[in-house]
């Protein structure tokens, strides 16, 4: 696997698993260049050599740290994540989908929490003014209900465990011991659970999630995705309820005002 050449001062790796996201990627890279002010690299992780995202990467000027990473570990977001982290050079890694525009506006707040000592920061669509727009109606209903129920049953301090918008310290990635299969973004749910079980310092930032603003097709499938998420739902409830986590906290940064500390009671 080719290792991207980046400056030693690179603070942030932005990791995007793609599957023919050329249209969305063009827009996303322009947004990142306009908004992100810290030294960063973008890794476009693809499974196949005919992915139309590669054409976009090939057109990027050499002064931008945008690189394609061929995932040869196997299908699915979990393997794209492993391949991307292995190729990354940033102190922090941000993972999100190329068709999501909301996370770009949250990067500054997520970085602020990381710089204050957080090791794992998750965005939330369901607390502190966060919202979800677009995407599958059925998927949206299931996501909201599952997160609310999981927060109540498991005592999770994160209010949106299933969102794929996560930032974490690169040197903490291996401690998560990921076991998810290749179905959907279930690995994001697993990461949220294991970050809490591992007593990582947690942070949360609300976003307005706008799913699939431009072309392409969602890979959401009710049956397979529900089964994969249900596995982590039941496992997470069992593990978090039986694990003593005294003083578990999450630092919250709201874009309009910043509030830190305390147990979350949204």
| pLDDT of the chain, 266 residues: tens digit per residue | 444 444 447 999 999 999 999 988 998 999 999 999 999 999 999 999 999 999 999 998 777 899 999 999 999 999 999 999 999 999 999 998 888 877 888 999 999 999 999 999 999 999 999 988 866 677 678 889 999 999 999 999 999 999 999 999 999 999 999 999 888 889 999 999 999 999 999 999 999 887 655 555 555 455 566 788 999 999 999 999 988 776 678 999 987 544 444 444 34
What domains sit in the chain, N to C, each tagged with a CATH number? 12-248 (3.90.550.10)
For residues 103 and 15, the answer to whether their CB atoms sit within 8 Å is no
Q: What is the Cα–Cα distance from 106 to 31, expressed in whole angstroms?
A: 12
Predicted structure pTM score: 0.87
Give the chain's largest Cα–Cα span. 52
Q: Residue for token digits 């874009």?
A: 255
Which two tokens mark 137?
């109606």
Q: How far is CA 12 from CA 110, 115, 119, 172, 265, in A?
A: 11, 12, 13, 14, 30
The angle subtended at Cα 251 by Cα 17 and Cα 237, nearest 5°, is: 70
């Amino acid at each position: 696997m080719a290792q991207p050449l980046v400056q030693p001062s690179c603070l942030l790796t932005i990791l995007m698993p793609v599957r023919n996201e050329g249209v969305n990627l063009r827009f996303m890279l322009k947004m990142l260049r306009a908004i992100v002010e810290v030294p960063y690299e973008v890794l476009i992780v693809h499974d196949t050599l005919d992915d139309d995202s590669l054409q976009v990467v090939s057109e990027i000027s050499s002064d931008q740290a945008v690189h394609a990473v061929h995932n040869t570990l196997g299908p699915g977001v979990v393997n794209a994540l492993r391949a991307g982290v292995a190729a990354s050079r940033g102190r922090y890694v941000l993972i999100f989908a190329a068709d999501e525009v909301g996370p770009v506006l949250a990067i500054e707040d997520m970085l602020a929490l990381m710089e204050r000592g957080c090791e794992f920061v998750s965005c939330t669509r369901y607390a502190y003014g966060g919202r979800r727009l677009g995407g599958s109606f059925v998927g949206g209903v299931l996501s909201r209900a599952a997160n609310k129920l999981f927060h109540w049953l498991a005592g999770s301090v994160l209010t949106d465990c299933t969102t794929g918008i996560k930032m974490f310290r690169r040197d903490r990635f291996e401690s998560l011991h990921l076991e998810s299969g290749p179905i959907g973004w279930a690995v994001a749910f697993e990461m949220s659970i294991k970050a809490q079980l591992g007593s990582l310092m947690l942070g949360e930032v609300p976003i307005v999630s706008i799913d699939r603003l431009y072309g392409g097709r969602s890979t959401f499938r009710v049956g397979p995705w529900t089964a994969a998420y249900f596995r982590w739902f039941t496992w997470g409830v069992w593990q978090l309820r039986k694990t003593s986590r005294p003083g578990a906290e999450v630092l919250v940064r709201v874009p309009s005002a910043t509030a830190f500390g305390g147990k979350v009671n949204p």
